[in-house]
Amino acid sequence: MFDSLNDEIRKREGLEKPATRMIRYAGVLVASLFGFWALYAGIRFLE
C-alpha cells in the first residue's frame, strides 16, 4: 500500500514544474522566518 502511495507522490512531484517547487520552498522559508521573528518579538516584548 505504501509503495503505491509513494509512487503516486513521486509521479505528482515529477509533473510539478521546478519554478513551482522553488516558489513553495521560498514561501515556507519566509513563513518560518516570520514565525521566528514573531517569537523573538514576543519574548522581547514580555521582558
Average pLDDT over residues 15-43: 89
Residue 21 to residue 36: CA distance in whole angstroms = 23
What's the CA gap between 25 and 8, in Å, rounded?
21
Per-residue pLDDT, averaged over 23-44, amounts to 94
Output the pLDDT for position 19: 78
**pLDDT at residue 40 in the model:** 95
Taking alpha carbons only, the member of 13, 24, 45, 46 closest to residue 32 is 24
Average confidence score pLDDT of the chain? 82
* Percentage with pLDDT > 90 across the chain: 43
| DSSP characters over 16-41 | S-HHHHHHHHHHHHHHHHHHHHHHHH
Domain positions in the chain are 18-47
Predicted local distance difference test score (pLDDT) of residue 20? 80
Residue 21 corresponds to which cell in the numbers above? 517547487
